């Protein structure tokens, strides 16, 4: 069976499934990358897509006498296989898809929908697992409804669910990305700020197909983004402690106010970092200092034993090839950007974490492209 790869940022050059004669079976694949947010000083501003993926294999079979209509069927393999709800009205990805469909007047999933999720992204580790699930859901709704939404509108739907743009933007468009939420007029601000419980309601056990219709529509242009340059020589080393840390808990330790000194510290470094990571060859001294942070990492060290020792003691002077090191997203994963020396960096970080009674895994990752939809024609 031939396939056609369709990057979201490109015009589709192949025959679309909708151009084919009617057939009994429709099939497509959605592939969404992991992400790391913040990248040192870029708290809630920058994100980086990484080469771990959430992959959905989707089929829709037209009902007939041999295959009567049935509700959606979900299976899951890989990370989180024992945790993910397999009910389409409880699973995050399919709930997001249903939200997108209902915002376009499509009340329910198509009959005989089958979804297999294969996930490489660890849960609760600061690698964007929830953001990937949200983007997968937005793309699933777009494909099932044959909506042909542009990238900017897909992002609007994602931001109604995931209110911080850094992870979902990087997962959608790929690469090293900066993003922000626009200042909207009063009506649009209120529309974009409705409680998540209204966007993705909890479906009661007796909910019928008419329950939860007419969800809040996202306003246009909630978020904007820009891609930064990236040196091809730089890879990302993810050092992943074997415990989960919820984003809510990690945000809960952050202060409500910051000093001007600390904000200027971060702004100075972020301004340098977004250019320095595109230079060839990359400058370790420049990048290491530019990846320091005073907005979130100092407050999260109590949640991640060993964090200060890893970020302070593993440096370009002690570990050739290292460029910079930081907390990935809300943690507990540590992200090291480097051009080489990956094993030495990872094993020395492992030794530090072991002094705290924590075991880690590590992976060398490429900077990934954005989400891809592949039609099986």
Q: What is the pLDDT of residues 88-139, one digit of tens each?
A: 999 999 999 999 999 999 999 999 999 999 999 999 999 999 999 999 999 9
Mean confidence (pLDDT) of the chain: 91
- Domain 3-224+368-376 top-level CATH class: alpha beta
Instruction: Report domain extents, the chain.
Output: 3-224+368-376, 230-365
Q: How far apart are CA 154 and CA 169, in angstroms?
A: 10
CATH tag, 230-365: 3.30.70.890
Q: By mean pLDDT, which of 11-15, 160-164, 189-193, 356-360 is the weakest?
A: 11-15
Q: Check whether 19 has a pLDDT greater than 60.
A: no
Residue 198, pLDDT score:
85
Confidence of residue 65 (pLDDT cuts 50, 70, 90): low
What number is the average pLDDT over the span 250-261?
A: 96
- The pLDDT value recorded for residue 201 is 84
pTM for the structure as a whole: 0.91
Identify the weakest region by mean pLDDT among 7-21, 32-46, 239-253, 345-359.
7-21
Task: Write a three-state SS string for the chain.
Answer: CCEEEEECCCCCCCCCHHHCCCCCEEEEEEEEEEEEEECCCEEEEEEEEEEEEEEEEEEEECCCCCCCCCCCEEEEEECCCCCCCCCCCCCHHHHHHHHHHHCCCCCCCCCCEEEEEEECCCCCCCCCHHHHHHHHHHHHHHHHCCCCCCHHHHHHHHHHHCCCHHHHHHHHHECEEEEEECCCCHHHHHHHCCCHHHHCCCCCCCCCCCCCCCCCCCCCCCEEEEECCCCCCCEEEEEEECCCCCHHHHHHCCCCCCCHHHHHHHHHHHHHHHHHCCCCCCCHHHHHHHCCCCCCHHHHCCCCCCHHHHHHHCCCCCCCCEEEEEECCCCCCEEEEECCCHHHHHHHHHHHHHCCCCCEEEEEECECECCEEEEEC
Alpha-carbon gap, residue 202 to 291, rounded angstroms = 40
pLDDT of 24-37, one tens digit each? 788 999 999 999 99
Radius of gyration of the chain from Cα atoms?
21
Distances (CA, A) of 121 to 348, 364, 372: 23, 14, 16
In the prediction, which pLDDT does 11 show? 32
Mean pLDDT across 318-344: 97
């Amino acid at each position: 069976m031939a396939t056609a790869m369709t990057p979201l940022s490109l015009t589709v050059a192949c025959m679309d499934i909708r151009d084919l004669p009617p057939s009994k079976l429709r099939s497509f694949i959605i592939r969404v990358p992991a992400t790391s947010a913040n990248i040192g000083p870029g708290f809630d501003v920058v994100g980086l897509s990484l080469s771990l993926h959430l992959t959905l294999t989707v089929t829709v079979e037209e009902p007939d006498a041999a295959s009567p209509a049935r509700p959606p069927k979900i299976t899951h393999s890989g990370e989180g296989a024992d945790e993910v709800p397999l009910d389409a009205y409880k699973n995050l990805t399919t709930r997001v898809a249903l939200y997108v469909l209902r915002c376009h007047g499509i009340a329910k999933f198509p009959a005989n929908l089958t979804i297999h999720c294969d996930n490489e992204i660890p849960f609760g580790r600061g690698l964007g697992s929830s953001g990937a699930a949200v983007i997968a859901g937005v793309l699933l709704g777009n494909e099932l409804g044959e909506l042909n939404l542009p990238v900017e509108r897909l992002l609007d739907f994602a931001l109604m669910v995931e209110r911080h743009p850094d992870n979902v933007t990087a997962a959608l468009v790929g690469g090293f990305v900066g993003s922000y939420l626009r200042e909207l007029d009063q009506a649009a601000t209120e529309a974009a700020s409705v409680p998540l419980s209204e966007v993705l309601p909890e479906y009661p056990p007796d909910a019928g197909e008419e329950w939860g219709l007419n969800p809040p529509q996202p306003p246009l242009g909630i978020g904007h983004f820009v891609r930064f340059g990236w040196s091809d020589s730089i890879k990302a080393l993810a050092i992943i402690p074997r415990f989960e840390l919820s984003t809510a808990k990690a945000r809960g330790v952050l202060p409500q106010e910051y000093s001007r000194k600390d904000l200027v510290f971060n702004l100075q470094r972020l301004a340098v970092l977004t250019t320095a990571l595109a230079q060839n060859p990359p400058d370790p001294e420049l990048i290491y200092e530019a990846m320091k942070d005073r907005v979130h990492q100092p407050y999260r060290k109590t949640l991640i034993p060993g964090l200060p020792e890893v970020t302070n003691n593993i440096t370009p002077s002690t570990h050739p090839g290292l460029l910079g090191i930081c907390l990935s997203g809300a943690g507990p994963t540590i992200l090291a950007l480097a051009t080489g020396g990956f094993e030495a960096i990872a094993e020395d970080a492992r030794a530090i974490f072991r002094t705290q009674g924590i075991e880690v895994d590590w992976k060398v990752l490429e900077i990934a492209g954005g989400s891809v939809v592949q039609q099986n024609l």
